[in-house]
Amino acid sequence: MNYPKGIKVTPQKELKKVITYGNRGMSLENDLNITNEFYRDQDRAIIYKKPTPIKISKVNYDTMKITEAFFESPSTTDYNGVYKGRYIDFEAKETDNITSFPLKNIHKHQLLHMRRVLDHQGICFLIVRFNKRHETYLLFAKDLLQFIEGHEQKSIPYTYFQEKAYLLEEQYHPRINYLKVVEEYGGV
Amino acid sequence: MNYPKGIKVTPQKELKKVITYGNRGMSLENDLNITNEFYRDQDRAIIYKKPTPIKISKVNYDTMKITEAFFESPSTTDYNGVYKGRYIDFEAKETDNITSFPLKNIHKHQLLHMRRVLDHQGICFLIVRFNKRHETYLLFAKDLLQFIEGHEQKSIPYTYFQEKAYLLEEQYHPRINYLKVVEEYGGV
């Protein structure tokens, strides 16, 4: 392929290597950040990951360096933004489990937040990657909350994802085209 | 007034004192956090301040204590959420200036973000408090961007706020009822 002069091309192979063998725990997050950047560049949607909530306890005001701080548990989901004027909001999690997704991965506050977003007609969902299956699913909040409200189980069986969630295609760009599912099944 | 047993009542005077004489730089932020909490409690809207973006450089993984981190400049605005299914997004700033609002208070990235939110039919605005006037205005992003695109000036005159922005009433609850303006003039 011929590229115009001055455009730096990252070979697909190299990029893939970075993503795959980098910080494994970060890879779904990486994929989503790249996807959201692509959506912004293509002017499809404006969606960002929120910064990690941190409680700052000591700051050196001369250098503005934070010298003591702690991670806080999030009261909302990690991602939000706008798509065709609509509010969009989601959480993303990875699991090494094969047969189920443990609900301890989602805080109670986050579930309450999702319920509220739904009540306010926002588009809300959970993205779950089953690492060992190399599969990533989108489960709408309606189906997530329905499961939680109707079951005592502490995890959602993989079969529930097969039944109710949407398998997200993974490709070069966008890495995880979740807006396609939102467009087709999210009522936009 | 009679309150049911067990309900802790903070006298208005005391609350006001905390807000007014606390960290002065935080008071608009405080007012907005209290307002957003009130909106959530009243089920009117789900709007949060995003966490401050921080770059973490050293963590003690035994205690999960962050021992070195730095403040990052934000690439988006501070507040966002959902109101009647619509995406809502805004930035809030205070100034001690009397005759104008210095534009150095808003990063270029934030202006670009506001432009994008508008293009995607989100509701977007800037809240500015003129501390010494005890006045807080809501300026819709459309009018903010129109000013910036049409002028070379490095600040927005106070008269422009009088002309184009909406003076926000301050009261006990909600502290700053900005949704009233959004409802009346924001096209919701």
Does residue A87 contact residue A118 with C-beta atoms inside 8 Å?
no
Does position B25 have pLDDT exceeding 80, yes or no?
no
Q: B135-166, pLDDT tens digit by residue?
A: 999 999 999 999 999 888 899 999 999 999 99
Q: A128-168, pLDDT tens digit by residue?
A: 999 999 999 999 999 999 999 988 889 999 999 999 999 99
pTM, two decimals, is 0.84
Mutate: best of B114, B120, B124, B125, partner A, most A CBs <10 A:
B120
Average pLDDT rounded to a whole number, residues B16-34? 63
Average pLDDT rounded to a whole number, residues A168-176? 91
Residues 111-130 of B with CB under 8 A from A: 113, 116-117, 119-122
Confidence of residue B23 (pLDDT cuts 50, 70, 90): very low
Confidence of residue B19 (pLDDT cuts 50, 70, 90): very low
Distances A141 to A12, A32, A76, A183 between C-alpha atoms, Å: 34, 18, 13, 15
Q: What is the pLDDT of residue A188?
A: 73
Q: Where are the domains of chain B?
A: 12-185
Question: Residue B17, SS3?
Answer: helix
Does position A15 have pLDDT exceeding 50, yes or no?
no
pLDDT cut 70: percent of chain A above it: 86
Question: Residue B165, SS3?
Answer: coil
- Return the amino acid letter for B183: E
Q: What is the pLDDT of residue B42?
A: 96
Q: Is the ipTM of this complex over 0.85?
A: no
Cβ partners under 8 Å of residue A53, min gap 6: A71, A72, A73, A74, A75, B51
Taking Cα atoms as reference points, which of B114, B44, B109, B105 lies closest to residue B79? B114
Q: B52-111, pLDDT tens digit by residue?
A: 999 999 999 999 999 999 999 888 999 999 999 999 999 999 999 999 999 999 999 999
Return d(Cα B47, Cα A116) in angstroms, integer.
11
Lowest mean per-residue pLDDT among A20-34, B8-22, B77-91, B162-176: B8-22
Return d(Cα A103, Cα A99) in angstroms, integer.
13
Please name the residue of chain A whose CA is at the shortest distance from the CA of residue B64: A70
Better pLDDT: A150 or A180:
A180
Select from A52, A67, A86 the Cβ nearest to the Cβ of B87.
Answer: A86
A84 shares contact with chain B (CB less than 8 Å): yes
Mutate: best of B37, B82, B123, partner A, most A CBs <10 A:
B82
Give me the phi and psi of A9, to 5 degrees please: -110, 125
Q: What is the CATH number of domain A12-185?
A: 3.40.1350.10
Return d(Cα B119, Cα B85) in angstroms, integer.
17
Strand A86-95 to strand A123-130: parallel, antiparallel, or no bridges (unpaired)? parallel
Bridge partner list, B86: A86, B83
Cβ partners under 8 Å of residue A76, min gap 6: A50, A89, A109, A110, A113, B48
Q: What is the pLDDT of residue A11?
A: 38
- Tokens standing for B88? 């809502």
Select from A67, A85, A119 the Cβ nearest to the Cβ of B121.
Answer: A85
A119 and B70: CB-CB below 8 Å? Answer: no
Return d(Cα B133, Cα B95) in angstroms, integer.
10
Q: What is the pLDDT of residue B148?
A: 94
Please name the residue of chain B whose CA is at the shortest distance from the CA of residue A114: B46
Q: B94-118, pLDDT tens digit by residue?
A: 999 999 999 999 999 999 999 999 9
Confidence of residue A20 (pLDDT cuts 50, 70, 90): very low
Return d(Cα B90, Cα B78) in angstroms, integer.
7
Confidence of residue B187 (pLDDT cuts 50, 70, 90): confident
Lowest mean per-residue pLDDT among A3-12, A47-56, A90-99, B116-125: A3-12
Does residue A158 contact residue A164 with C-beta atoms inside 8 Å?
no
